Amino acid sequence: MLHVVAMPIGNAADLSPRALAILADVDLIACEDTRRIGPLLAAHAIRTPTLSYFEHNEERRAPELVERMRRGARIALVTDAGTPAISDPGFRLVRETLDAGIRVGAIPGPSAVVAALSVAGLPTDRFSFEGFLPSKPAARRNELKSLAREQRTMVFFEAARRLGPVLTDMAEIFGGGREATVARELGKTYEEVVRASLAELAARFTANPARGEVTMVVAGLGRDQSAQDTRGTDNSTAASALTIEMLCEAGLSLKQASSVMARLGGRRRREIYQDALASRRTRQDDNEGD
């Protein structure tokens, strides 16, 4: 049998008694990193042998593990954090185990997806899990454009170092006013949950880059929103201008903020600078008119 065992995402105390019993009872633990799970097992006096199973060896390891189970072995599959096979290695092993007619059982537990949704303050009756966006800016923007009309709440994983550029792209493509939540270091000492508009979040995490594990929850397109919210790059100028103003409020000059936006969005700094000046003049004219 194969047991798919959820692991803590931040706090070791979140490991369930049932998970501990399974880990102590199986013949082998297939884990992403034997060095990461070692201290946790030692803390609970669990001496079950471990074997590495990660993205770059799963094609080779999966048949080996299935063959062991054919001979009667009971194996637990774990990941470094959260539930295996959810944007983590495990899918191939689970599928090949099922194809071999061997039973697969879930030992449920912590999940960054569900944890982030529970504290996001956004609708959760329907949601889509999008995992990690492409790392290359052009591919990422294309993926976001394909999601611009999604009405369900969306959940994303992201590397902390890319959070600023990703939020900037989202603000430009989804609309700067779209609500979103950034959940960082869930379950850990420095847990942080920030809910704001995409433009505000882009400005915040561009000026102050994030650290640690990041999960983003983004509101879907509201049924009462106009087509203006989903015109992709047509609304990028307004969203960029709003983000620039927030960067300026954080202490950057207009030229510095324009340079940051140029690096993040791929547009020329001078073009962004002129758009920001034009936006300021428009707001001033509106205020004088009032």
- Within 10 angstroms of residue 228's Cβ, the number of other Cβ atoms is 10
Q: Which sequence spans correspond to the domains of the chain?
A: 2-110, 112-290
Asked if 15 and 187 touch (Cβ cutoff 8 Å), the reply is no
2-110: CATH number: 3.40.1010.10
Put the strands of the sheet holding 104-107 in their side by side order: 50-52, 28-31, 75-77, 2-5, 104-107
Asked if 161 and 206 touch (Cβ cutoff 8 Å), the reply is no
- Within 10 angstroms of residue 184's Cβ, the number of other Cβ atoms is 21
| Rounded Cα distance, 12 and 221, in Å | 37
CA atoms 86, 87, 93, 98: torsion sign: positive
* Distance separating the N- and C-terminal Cα atoms of the chain: 72
Q: How confident is the model at residue 239 (pLDDT cuts 50, 70, 90)?
A: low
Higher-scoring residue by pLDDT: 250, 33 = 33
Q: What is the pLDDT of residues 140-159, one digit of tens each?
A: 999 999 999 999 999 999 99
Higher-scoring residue by pLDDT: 134, 277 = 134
Task: Return the C-alpha torsion angle 70, 74, 80, 84, nearest 10.
Answer: 60
In the predicted model, what is the mean pLDDT of residues 35-64? 92
Q: How confident is the model at residue 101 (pLDDT cuts 50, 70, 90)?
A: very high
Give pLDDT, residue 226.
45
Q: How confident is the model at residue 12 (pLDDT cuts 50, 70, 90)?
A: confident
Q: How confident is the model at residue 240 (pLDDT cuts 50, 70, 90)?
A: low
Give pLDDT, residue 264.
62
In the predicted model, what is the mean pLDDT of residues 71-79? 96
Share of the chain above pLDDT 90, in %: 62
In the predicted model, what is the mean pLDDT of residues 207-228? 81
CA atoms 61, 66, 69, 71: torsion sign: negative
Give pLDDT, residue 238.
60
Q: What is the pLDDT of residues 181-211, one digit of tens each?
A: 999 999 898 999 999 999 899 989 988 889 9
What is residue 29's three-state secondary structure?
Answer: strand
Give whole-number Cα distances, 163 to 168, 172, 183, in Å.
8, 14, 11
Place of tokens 């990690």: 132
Position 51 pLDDT exceeds 90: yes
Higher-scoring residue by pLDDT: 31, 269 = 31
Angle of helix 58-70 relative to helix 91-99, nearest 10 degrees, comes to: 40
Give pLDDT, residue 104.
97
Asked if 169 and 144 touch (Cβ cutoff 8 Å), the reply is yes
Q: Which fold has domain 112-290?
A: 3.30.950
Residues β-bridged to residue 7:
82
Give pLDDT, residue 173.
92
Position 236 pLDDT exceeds 60: no
In the predicted model, what is the mean pLDDT of residues 84-113? 93
In the predicted model, what is the mean pLDDT of residues 227-241? 52
Place of tokens 């102050």: 208
| Rounded Cα distance, 2 and 135, in Å | 33
Token pair belonging to 145: 């454009």
Give pLDDT, residue 263.
67
Position 234 pLDDT exceeds 50: no
Position 232 pLDDT exceeds 50: no
Give whole-number Cα distances, 126 to 163, 219, 220, in Å.
24, 11, 10
Residues β-bridged to residue 131:
156
Strands (E), 207-253: 213-218
Among left, alpha and beta (phi > 0; psi -120 to 50; other), residue 78 is: beta
Position 2 pLDDT exceeds 90: yes
Residues β-bridged to residue 183:
193, 215
Q: How confident is the model at residue 233 (pLDDT cuts 50, 70, 90)?
A: very low
| Rounded Cα distance, 207 and 285, in Å | 29
Out of 8-22, 155-169, 247-261, which region has the weakest mean confidence (pLDDT)?
A: 247-261
